Chain A
Amino acid sequence: MSTVFIAFQTNEDTRPIVESILADNPHAVLDEQPAMVKINAEGQLVIKRESIEERIGRSFDLQELQINLITLSGNIDEDDDQFTLAWKN
């Protein structure tokens, strides 16, 4: 199984996003680096709009992720409700 990852700038916008990702993906591992927070996960990682909205108390468009995104790895599948990264092998 290969590792997928996603990295964001460390800031107030991304704190609840990172919290949601860690809550929704128990197998994910947090890697905090200077000014950057990276989340690694075996196989796949799912980011759910609803989980983020619960934490920030407003509606959230998953495309807002792009503002603070640094890098990612894996095949992307995005719709209105979730953003998935996966290596299917």
Chain B
Amino acid sequence: MDMKANKKKLGLKEKYAHMTRGLDWETTYQPMDKVFPQATFEGIKIHDWEKWEDPFRLTMDAYWKYQAEKERKLYAVLDAFAQNNGHLGITDARYLNAVKLFLTGISPLEYVAHRGFAAAGRNFPGVGPRVACLMQSIDEIRHAQTQIHALSNYNKFYEGFHAGAAHQIERIWYLSVPKSFFDDAFSAGPFEWMIAIGFSFEYVLTNLLFVPFMSGAAYNGDMATVTFGFSAQSDEARHMTLGLECIKFMLEQDPDNLPIVQKWIDKWAWRGIRVLTLVGMMMDYMLPKRVMSWKEAWEIYFEQNGGALFNDLAKYGIKVPDCITQCTVDKEHISHQAWCTFYQYAHASAFHTWLPNAEEMDWLSAKYPNTFDKYYRPRYEQWREMADKGERFYNNTLPMLCQVCQIPMVFTEPDDPTKICYRESDYQGEKYHTCSDGCKHIFDDEPEKYIQAWLPVHQIYMGNCWPEGTDPTAEGFDPMAKVLEWYHIENGKDNLDYEGSGDQANFAAWRGAATQNT
């Protein structure tokens, strides 16, 4: 039955050359620099776009063929999941809070990535990166759509899935962290965008986001998330390669590019790592069945894999980002500090929180022998005692935010985990606060950019976060209730503790109904 494969008419390399390079042209009635106005202002010097190499050499026809196959596989699984009440197969409905965080915090970034790569593709004068950026742009909108589609099944059954991807990203305090990360990259030029998103985020950090997250979803029985995750991830290798090629290309084109590129790597590695705090918290606290700790994932994917990458880039003069020393300290703290923050602000969050149980605390002690028992266990025990007495602790003071990463000032000094770290800068007669040396450095380098930050806490205090027509002078005005209304968080349903939530009760009842005849 086996048929001899037809010898292809064109090899991969020739085909790619014809289908990409061969399609480009020089303009005639407008000068090239007017057609590509963003190509030079960042100071990056490119002499020969023909030197751009795309190792995947994917052409548009092959692209459509493989993407269509990925979609068919994905939707077959999503149908099966929905038809078979797959949501009852997850370990525990607590897990869904990690998914809510993903839908509200990550899926909207896919959409911004779509826009950003479309813009980069438009703005690069070279045809090689234009084609690669076009494909990535289409991939990214596919990611946004398939994620929202896959998770819409949960919206039929559980709280907190109703407004995430479109409405809440513009409003909720903690979502401004991932949002501003992408917006700040998008509002830079096309080369900086490529270093920020294509290289630092996709190559250096994306494995820390997707691989543990998707393995975690698999471990916790969430077939829908595993499947869209893997489907998105199958595009990721191509994105990572684009980021790496882009950086090599910039460095090979002109020695003057090195300091600019290094500055961007330092800046965007730090910004990306700050955003990933949310992932660390998810891995250490939100998965009922854990895959590995944040610290372990950091060691595999950043220290080992990132180490290999930076060794390779050393020949161009690129150095490991200077935040690495602080990160080595932070890896033992940030997930705990983040979860402690969400526990205190569970009334203002679009997902449920809980205190780790005894078994989970033992797991944390084993994974974080240097820090958990010393700094964090006592805090949880204290909160447990208070909750048992009916005095569940909520923090009703709005926190100061970092002007750059927009995370509340909850991180500690690198040399003293009992002391909150904050830094101060003066600019045009105003004081600005940042959470770390890394963020202060970024602020001081571009204050005119970061003073424009839309900081959720400031905006609440300025009265910008209430539904239209709210009268703050009215009798009995409750600012927090109005903010939640504006967030589209249903107080008492979407927020507060998992213990006693509708999700908890419904999951128990439905799973009971699925396994018994009564």
A36 contacts across to B, CB distance below 8 A: 211, 214-215, 218
For window 203-240 of B, CB contacts with A under 8 Å fall at 206-207, 210-211, 214-215, 218-219, 226, 230, 233-238, 240
The distance in angstroms between the C-alpha atoms of A66 and B244, with both chains bound, is 18
- B412-424 near A? 1/0 per residue, CB < 8 Å: 0000000000000
Separation of A78 and B305 alpha carbons in the complex (Å): 21
Bound-state Cα–Cα, A33 to B216, Å: 10
Instruction: Give complex CA distance A78, B298 in Å.
Output: 29
User: Which A residues touch B55, using CB under 8 A?
Assistant: 75-78
- A26 CB–B CB distance under 8 Å: no
Within 8 A of B (CB), among A25-47: 33-36
Task: Report Cα–Cα, A45/B308, bound state, in Å.
Answer: 15
What's the tally of chain B residues with a CB closer than 8 Å to chain A?
44
* The stretch of B6-14, B193-201, B256-264, B347-355 that contacts the partner chain: B6-14
At the interface, yes or no: B241 with Cβ under 8 Å from chain A? Answer: yes
Known: A2-B308, A71-B210, A80-B8. A35 touches B230 (CB 8 A): yes
A69 proximal to B (CB < 8 A)? yes
- B1-40 CB mask vs A (1 if < 8 Å, else 0) is 0100100100111000000000000000000000000000
Cross-chain contact B69 with A67 (CB below 8 angstroms): yes
> What residues of chain B lie closer than 8 Å to A34, measured between beta carbons?
215, 218-219, 291
Residue A75 contacts which of B69, B237, B312 (CB distance < 8 angstroms)?
A: B312
Q: Is the CB of A35 within 8 A of B11?
A: no
Number of A residues whose C-beta is below 8 Å from B?
A: 34
- A51 located at the interface, meaning its Cβ lies under 8 Å from any Cβ of chain B in the complex: no
1/0 per residue, CB under 8 A from A, across B56-93: the answer is 11100010001001100100000000000000000000
B307's closest neighbor in chain A, by CB?
A: A2
- Chain B, interface SS category: helix
Which chain B residues lie closer than 8 Å to A7 at the CB level?
211
Q: How far in angstroms is the closest Cβ of chain A from B457?
A: 36
Residues of chain B within 8 A (CB-CB) of A69 are 233-234, 237
| B290-321 at interface with A (beta carbon < 8 Å) | 291, 304-305, 307-309, 311-312, 314-315
Residue interface mask A1-42, B partner, CB < 8 A = 1: 011110101000000000000000000000001111000000
Q: How distant is B111 from chain A, measured CB to nearest CB, in Å?
A: 22
User: Given A35-B218, A78-B12, A80-B8: A70 and B2 within 8 A (CB)?
Assistant: no
How far is the CB of A57 from the nearest CB of chain B, in Å? 6
Closest to A66 in B: B66
Question: Which residues of A does B touch, CB under 8 Å?
Answer: 2-5, 7, 9, 33-36, 53, 57-59, 63-64, 66-80, 87-89
